[in-house]
Amino acid sequence: MALGEFELIDRYFSRTSARGDVVLGVGDDAALLDVPAGRELVAAVDTLVEGRHFLPDTPPESVGHQALAVNLSDLAAMGAEPAWALLSLSLPRPDAQWLERFAAGLYALADRHRVALVGGDTVRGPLVVTVTALGLVERGQALRRDGAGVGDLVYVSGWPGEAAAGLELLKRGIGPDPGDALVRRFRYADPRLALGRALRGVASAAMDVSDGLLGDLGKLCAASGVGAQLDLERLPVSPELARRQPPGDCERLVLAGGDDYELLFTLPEARAAAAELALASICPVRRIGRIESGAGVRCVRDGTAVQVEPGGYDHFA
């Protein structure tokens, strides 16, 4: 690489961190990290491929942000506190301006959540960004997908569907203002780390919404060996979405849109009311259904069963 692999690493990815638990960071053969006694290490990895996970003209800051954000969202869904990250970068060419902006986006999110970049790998190839995020959770306290019990109430955080609406604007290629609220929700969504931490010892199950609420609730149910009733009239539709999209579109986006980094979780009914109050001080949370025996997700609107095909939403009469 013209810029030089080591020069590149040195220039863009060797910032020292304030974390005292990084014994050795970038520069040696591997990072050395101090895992405190009584805590479990939580590990997640995700890869973004240009053309598949992000559009070729995506601002580099957003690529850097998203590569870390998808992983931090996974840590949030486990109730973990993020600590460290590794970055594997495949680049067609060492473009200094692109790298500068990519690193700025990545470090901005890392700094916001006290994450230290402690290592990685840099190779020439198609543009592919892989981040491994490592976090910590008190032993035995991690949130899992398999803990939902019959009778538990189902909740979702924030505003699912906004990011998917932003992506649709970009895909339609009508050149939306980069400052557009929906576009920003897609490019710079903030993972729900504070909510994830607050759900420890409270939620019976949790996961992040990456592939759409309806499909992901199905996965949570399958992992827990239960079914769920989903109350369509309770779905949270953000004011921005309601203002910009026809009602049928809103529901489709909320149910099937991905990339929101919202959390889907269940609360045992006995502690739901108190928990709901406490959680509302962190971010909006909305009860959207109930766990039941059986399997799969039953969609209900105002008490009447409705057939919803994930992806095909013309069935809404």
Shortest distance in whole angstroms from residue 198 CB to Mg ion: 38
Q: Which of the choices Mg ion, ligand ADP, none does residue 89 contact, using the CB cut-off of 5 to 8 A by kind?
A: ligand ADP
Q: Determine, following the binding rule CB under 6 A, whether residue 7 of this chain makes contact with ligand ADP.
A: no
Q: Which is nearer to ligand ADP, 72 or 291 (CB)?
A: 72
Q: Which of the choices ligand ADP, Mg ion, none does residue 120 contact, using the CB cut-off of 5 to 8 A by kind?
A: ligand ADP
Q: Determine, following the binding rule CB under 6 A, whether residue 29 of this chain makes contact with ligand ADP.
A: yes
252: alpha, beta or left, given left = phi > 0 and alpha = psi -120 to 50?
alpha
The answer to whether 209 and 160 have CB atoms below 8 angstroms apart is yes
Query: Pairing mode, if any, of strands 128-138 and 81-91?
Result: antiparallel
Query: Pairing mode, if any, of strands 205-209 and 262-267?
Result: antiparallel
The answer to whether 85 and 132 have CB atoms below 8 angstroms apart is yes
The answer to whether 164 and 259 have CB atoms below 8 angstroms apart is yes
- Ranked by CB distance to Mg ion, the top (closest) residue is 121
Binding to ligand ADP, residues 68-107 (CB under 6 A): 87, 89
Shortest distance in whole angstroms from residue 224 CB to Mg ion: 40
Shortest distance in whole angstroms from residue 176 CB to ligand ADP: 31
Q: Judged by CB under 6 A, which stretch of 25-33, 132-140, 165-173, 200-208 contacts ligand ADP?
A: 25-33
Shortest distance in whole angstroms from residue 132 CB to Mg ion: 13
Shortest distance in whole angstroms from residue 119 CB to ligand ADP: 3
Short-list 40, 53, 8, 48, CA closest to 26: 8
d(CA 142, CA 133): 16
Q: What are phi and psi of 271, to 5 degrees?
A: -110, 10
Residues that contact ligand ADP, how many (by CB under 6 A): 13
Tell me which of 4, 7, 15, 27 binds ligand ADP, using CB under 6 A.
Answer: 27
Q: Determine, following the binding rule CB under 6 A, whether residue 26 of this chain makes contact with ligand ADP.
A: yes
d(CA 133, CA 117): 9
Answer positive or negative: Cα dihedral of 304, 267, 145, 132: positive
For residue 307, give both structure tokens. Answer: 């057939």
Q: Which is nearer to Mg ion, 7 or 121 (CB)?
A: 121
Cα–Cα–Cα angle for 89, 110, 170, nearest 5°? 70
Q: Which is nearer to ligand ADP, 85 or 255 (CB)?
A: 85
Q: Which is nearer to Mg ion, 4 or 311 (CB)?
A: 4
d(CA 27, CA 118): 9
CA atoms within a 13 Å half-sphere pointing along the CA-CB vector of 249:
12
Q: Which is nearer to ligand ADP, 7 or 233 (CB)?
A: 7
- What angle do the packed helices 96-112 and 5-12 form, to 10 degrees? 40
Shortest distance in whole angstroms from residue 310 CB to ligand ADP: 36
Shortest distance in whole angstroms from residue 10 CB to ligand ADP: 8
Q: Which is nearer to ligand ADP, 65 or 192 (CB)?
A: 65
Query: Pairing mode, if any, of strands 39-49 and 285-292?
Result: unpaired
Binding positions for Mg ion, rule: CB under 5 A: 121
Binding to ligand ADP, residues 114-153 (CB under 6 A): 117, 119-122
Q: Which is nearer to ligand ADP, 27 or 178 (CB)?
A: 27
d(CA 154, CA 206): 10
Q: Which is nearer to ligand ADP, 66 or 122 (CB)?
A: 122
Contact footprint for ligand ADP (CB under 6 A): 9, 13, 26-29, 87, 89, 117, 119-122
